[in-house]
Structure 1
Amino acid sequence: MSFHQKEIRLPAYRRGFHIVTDTIVGHLPELKTIEVGFLQVFIKHTSASLTINENCDPTVRGDFERHFNLLFPEDAQHYQHDYEGSDDMPAHLKSSTLGCQVMIPITKGRLNLGTWQGIYLCEHRNHDTGRTLVLTLMS
């Protein structure tokens, strides 16, 4: 088995759910040389997350944001961690719920995602300066 790894820095995104599949693939020209393998995408942050979901209808991403805000509201009285603002503890909860990594099969030089699937960067903070991803190709 062989491995190739690199870190990339995403630009700042507003709070919400954003499709970053093309950005990730654009940083991986090596992907085209892999017949069978996997791509692991890992985010190095505790207030943002990754998931795979609907890549066509943007209302899905809006519904995700609204739903997660209902599940994890800002300024809840039971939060103790509030050092970085009212959006910080909800961001940690959202991140742990969705997770910090995704794994995608590679087949014939392409990510083997379903027709309607895309990789989401889930930005849970009101203000971000960019996020770092670790991309690991395994073949």
Structure 2
Amino acid sequence: MRQSLDTIIIPTSGRGLVEITDRLQERIAASGIVRGLANLFLRHTSASLLVQENADPAVREDLERFFARLVPDGDALFRHQDEGPDDMPAHVRTALTAVSLAVPVEGGALALGTWQGIYVWEHRRQGHRREVMLHVLGER
């Protein structure tokens, strides 16, 4: 059994989804692991990881509109606004989604479905530098 641990830096330009599938695939290929499990962990509380459709951008736009309705910026319900009106809504969005994923590795690549991609979902209006830890465990 082999393992590989890597940190991938993902710059975001503000609220929205940034596909990271290709960057993950490159790191998995470089690890030499052909069958196993890729564990991803996002080291932040105002962004999340997501497996989502990567064919039609309207899906990502619809998700963003849905979350804007569900958890609006500046809602009077929230007291925590240390970094502005999008601060607590970003934390709630993260709590409703995920900061970790586990995806099988087969043939040296992520075993994703035809239309699936992996995304960092930035929940803040300003861009940030996000860190994704990638731990791959398996056989060469």
Structure 1 equivalent of residue 24 of structure 2: 24
How big is the alpha-carbon RMSD for the aligned residues of Structure 1 and Structure 2? 1.3
Residue type at the aligned position of 1:74: D
- Identity over aligned pairs, percent: 38
Counterpart residue type for residue 23 of structure 2: T
1:1-139 equivalences under 5 Å are 1-31=1-31, 33-139=32-138
Long gaps (5+) in structure 1: none
Contact 1:13 1:130 in 2 (8 A): no
Q: Is the 8 A contact 2:29 2:109 kept in 1?
A: no
Relative to structure 1, is the Cα distance of residues 117 and 65 closer, same or farther in structure 2, using a 3 angstrom cutoff?
same
- On the 8 A contact 1:17/1:64 being kept in 2, the answer is no
TM-score (norm 2): 0.92
Q: Following the alignment from structure 1 to structure 2, what is the Cα–Cα distance between the partners of residues 74 and 45?
A: 19
SS in 1 for 2:14: coil
Runs of 4+ in 1 over 4 A off after TM superposition: none
Distance 2:118 2:12 in 1: 16
Deviation of the 1:125 alpha carbon? 0.3
Deviations 1:110-129 (A, max 9, x none): 11000010001100001123
Separation in 2 of the partners of 1:131 and 1:43? 7
